[in-house]
């Protein structure tokens, strides 16, 4: 565990973020390996099927992942105030909530998968493989939630290294099972899905076994778990807007596929590929933002609000440098990067065009994300949700649709950065108001 309320702000955030960043690289390797194996050894229809399944999966899980982030913020603030009993009760309550949520999601996903892909107008030739991948993944959501919840708890406690170790374990296992199931057994997309849930489940079970014997705060006993309604209400109050924000984003991702789908399998496969590449570019923003949120939570819990602005500025500097470097690589080597996943030249052309347009605005996206991290760490999650709704549903979707009528799929690519710029401006203006400082769970008397 790491106390982020003392010491140099830049070093504290950097050392906390780096293990998460490395872990996220390994986590993204799930998608990279899955899509590389599918694209190279199964075909572009299978690649499109896996890619089209991802935003639907995200829709199914995003709200509850956002709720879990509310628990993480609560853990960080209770830990900052040294209230260990509340920390333990928050952990118990989170696990109980995630269990019931995963069961519900699995049932809905498995029984309604066909209708979901019909609703988003996925090309008919892609649907059978998409249904297969989606149903298998949905069957393993409990394992995904368990692993993600455990990692979130550790981050709330200031421990970003332990989740990294188990993410490395999961990624290595995923690669091995991908090779075994797809190349060895010729299983296709079902092999990729099985590899993912088995590796996540193995990492989750191993993590719980290890932490129960070594961690000073986490000591889970399924029979002794306590569901704390007060903790649940406070955490959900913070997490529900984050969940809503994630839901808006995930639904927006699905609508983006609805907009891209009419342009054919090549466009869907290209969008699937560049989405994976873009995830690498956004990693610094996401991981440093998570570190910043924990930093803000602990410092507000410890009644040290003066450290928050310094933490934001240091985070912004570090993220900007990383994003500029990664963006340059993505733009310069755009054709080679898309070509990793497929040999189809038309798919490569479409994907390269996306990176040549959207790539120039990755810094704006990362800046918006970092500013939102301060507000989330403070427990002010409603306004970021509203900003996300405006930038995505009021700006991006209409802009992408209208531009696609005139410029085809190229118009869709231009609609994305327009929305990012609007979101950045709105986030910055709200940060300047300072209202987010009043939303912390742990209250302190002001002298």
Going by pLDDT thresholds of 50, 70 and 90, the confidence category of residue 447 is very low
Please write the tens of the pLDDT for every residue from 277-328: 887 778 788 888 888 888 887 787 777 877 888 888 899 899 999 889 988 9
Q: How confident is the model at residue 118 (pLDDT cuts 50, 70, 90)?
A: confident
* pLDDT tens, position by position, 6-49: 778 888 888 888 887 887 777 777 667 777 777 777 777 777 77
Q: What is the reported pLDDT for 350?
A: 93
Per-residue pLDDT at 439: 62
Q: Is the pLDDT of residue 436 over 80?
A: no
Helix 362-378 vs helix 382-389: angle between axes, to the nearest 10 degrees? 150
User: Which of 34-38, 104-108, 145-149 is the least confident region?
Assistant: 34-38
CB neighbours of 207 closer than 8 A, spacing ≥ 6? 147, 150, 162, 166
Q: What is the mean pLDDT of the chain?
A: 84
Predicted confidence band of residue 240 (pLDDT cuts 50, 70, 90): confident
Domain range list for the chain: 9-439
CA distances from 8 to 92, 310, 378 (A): 32, 10, 20
Quick one: pLDDT band at residue 4, thresholds 50, 70, 90?
Answer: low
Tell me: pLDDT of 390 over 90: yes
Q: What was the pLDDT predicted at 336? A: 92
The pLDDT score that the predictor gives to residue 218 is 72
Q: What is the pLDDT of residue 291?
A: 85
């Amino acid at each position: 565990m790491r106390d982020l309320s003392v010491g140099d702000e830049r070093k504290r955030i950097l050392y906390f973020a780096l293990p998460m960043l490395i872990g996220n690289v390994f986590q993204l390797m799930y998608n990279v390996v899955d899509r590389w194996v599918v694209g190279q050894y199964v075909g572009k229809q299978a690649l499109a099927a896996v890619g089209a399944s991802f935003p639907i999966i995200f829709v199914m899980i995003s709200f509850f992942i956002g709720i879990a982030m509310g628990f993480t913020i609560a853990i960080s603030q209770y830990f900052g105030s040294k209230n260990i009993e509340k920390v333990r009760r928050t952990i118990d309550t989170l696990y109980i909530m995630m269990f019931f949520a995963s069961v519900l999601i699995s049932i809905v996903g498995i029984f309604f998968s066909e209708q979901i892909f019909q609703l988003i107008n996925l090309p008919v030739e892609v649907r059978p493989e998409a249904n297969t991948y989606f149903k298998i993944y949905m069957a393993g959501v409990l394992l995904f939630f368990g692993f993600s919840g455990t990692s979130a708890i550790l981050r709330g406690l200031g421990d970003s290294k332990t989740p990294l170790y188990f993410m490395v374990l999961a990624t290595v296992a995923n690669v091995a099972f991908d090779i075994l199931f797809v190349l060895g057994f010729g299983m296709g997309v079902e092999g990729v899905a099985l590899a993912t849930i088995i590796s996540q489940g193995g990492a989750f079970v191993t993590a719980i076994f290890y932490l129960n014997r070594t961690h000073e705060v986490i000591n889970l006993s399924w029979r002794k778990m306590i569901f704390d309604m007060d903790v649940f209400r406070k955490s959900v109050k913070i997490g529900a807007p984050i969940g809503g924000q994630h839901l808006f984003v995930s639904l927006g991702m699905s609508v983006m596929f609805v907009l891209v789908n009419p342009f054919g399998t090549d466009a869907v496969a290209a969008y699937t590929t560049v989405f994976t590449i873009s995830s690498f570019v956004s990693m610094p923003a996401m991981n440093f933002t998570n570190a910043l949120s924990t930093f803000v939570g602990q410092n507000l819990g410890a009644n040290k609000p003066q450290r928050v602005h310094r933490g934001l500025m240091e985070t912004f500097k570090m993220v900007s440098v990383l994003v500029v470097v990664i963006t340059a690589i993505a733009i310069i080597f755009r054709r080679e990067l898309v070509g990793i996943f497929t040999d189809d030249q038309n798919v490569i052309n479409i994907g390269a065009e996306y990176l040549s347009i959207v790539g120039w605005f990755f810094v704006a996206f990362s800046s918006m994300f970092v500013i939102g991290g301060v507000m989330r760490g403070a427990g002010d999650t409603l306004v970021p949700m509203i900003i996300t709704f405006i930038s995505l549903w009021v700006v991006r979707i209409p802009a992408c649709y209208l531009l696609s009528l005139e410029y085809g799929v190229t118009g869709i690519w231009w609609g994305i950065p327009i929305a990012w710029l609007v979101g950045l401006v709105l986030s910055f203006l709200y940060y300047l108001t300072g209202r987010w400082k009043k939303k912390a769970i742990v209250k302190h008397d002001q002298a």
